[in-house]
Amino acid sequence: MIDSYSTDELMTVLMARELHNGDLAVTGATSLVPVAACLLAQQLHAPDLTLIMPSGLVNPRPGRLYRSASDGRWVKCAEAVGTGYDLFEMSENGRLDVMFYGGIQIDKHGNINLTKTGLSQGSPPKFRGPGLANTSFAVVSKRIILFSGSHTSRTFVEEVDFVTASGHLSGGSSRAESGITTEGPVVCITPLATFSFDETKAMQVRSIHPGVNPEDVANNTGFNLRQGNWDTTRAPTVNELTTLRQCVDTTGELR
């Protein structure tokens, strides 16, 4: 094992492990970690994974990472250059396997708020988010991988103030009962832990990351977690980190 790695590198490796060969994956506009995870998975175990950027670029390989998915330098060595319309059409036709979502709020059932917080009758929101370009991504993508660059009780809440993108709604079978036929959120990766969803479709700790105190996870999560001896996340291997740094993130953006 390599002992020294950044939180973003750890999250990238963990996210890459969740991806399957043959997946058609779509990332958002400011999704450096998910983009890196897709490129890493292609190098390690999923050579036939297809990454589509929100601008419509297919499988870019510029030799380094750029902070914005809309950066024109991603075009270099891309397999194809499509449009946002092409991507939206794919979503409407149910062709997307994986979509990645972060949010200003994520609740215990995996619902995502990217719109606004602090709602009260007759008052403007306290914070306005970027919103969402296409809500159908959350409905038709076969599975959703959630992530957050911060893990606080302000981000991970009992119930989001506004449902921008549907997770498991109110839990249980409510997603299916609403007419949504796809699986929805399957995992959530944060700087402190990896979450999965239990039989009630509530978020529970799958593992806590190396060096993280269990109390820090509980205290920084705004909903109750099932207590117990939580497993420790398997740290990145030498091969995973070496491949990430030499083939994907050659300029150290994740560090």
pLDDT digits (tens, 9 = 90+) for 35-79: 999 999 999 999 999 999 988 899 998 889 998 887 889 988 899
For residue 16, pLDDT beyond 90: yes
For residue 91, pLDDT beyond 90: no
Mean pLDDT within 216-223 = 97
108 touches 158 (CB < 8 A): yes
Mean pLDDT within 156-178 = 96
Cα–Cα distance, 138 to 194 (Å, whole number): 20
Cα–Cα distance, 29 to 26 (Å, whole number): 10
Instruction: Write down the pLDDT at residue 120.
Output: 64
96 touches 24 (CB < 8 A): yes
CATH superfamily of 7-248: Glutaconate Coenzyme A-transferase (3.40.1080.10)
Q: Is 103 exposed, middle or buried (0-12, 13-18, 19+ CB in 10 A)?
A: buried
Cα–Cα distance, 210 to 46 (Å, whole number): 26
Q: How confident is the model at residue 13 (pLDDT cuts 50, 70, 90)?
A: very high
Q: Identify any residues that bridge with 130 across adjacent strands, giving them in sequence order.
A: none
Cα–Cα distance, 166 to 182 (Å, whole number): 11
For residue 137, pLDDT beyond 90: no
Cα–Cα distance, 240 to 58 (Å, whole number): 23
For residue 99, pLDDT beyond 90: yes
Instruction: Write down the pLDDT at residue 2.
Output: 60
Pick from 90, 99, 92: nearest CA to 29 = 99
58 touches 52 (CB < 8 A): yes
Q: How confident is the model at residue 122 (pLDDT cuts 50, 70, 90)?
A: low
pLDDT digits (tens, 9 = 90+) for 242-255: 999 999 999 999 99
Q: How confident is the model at residue 93 (pLDDT cuts 50, 70, 90)?
A: confident
pTM of the model as a whole = 0.94
> 30: how many CB neighbours lie within 10 A of its CB?
16
For residue 182, pLDDT beyond 60: yes
77 touches 59 (CB < 8 A): no
Instruction: Write down the pLDDT at residue 180.
Output: 94
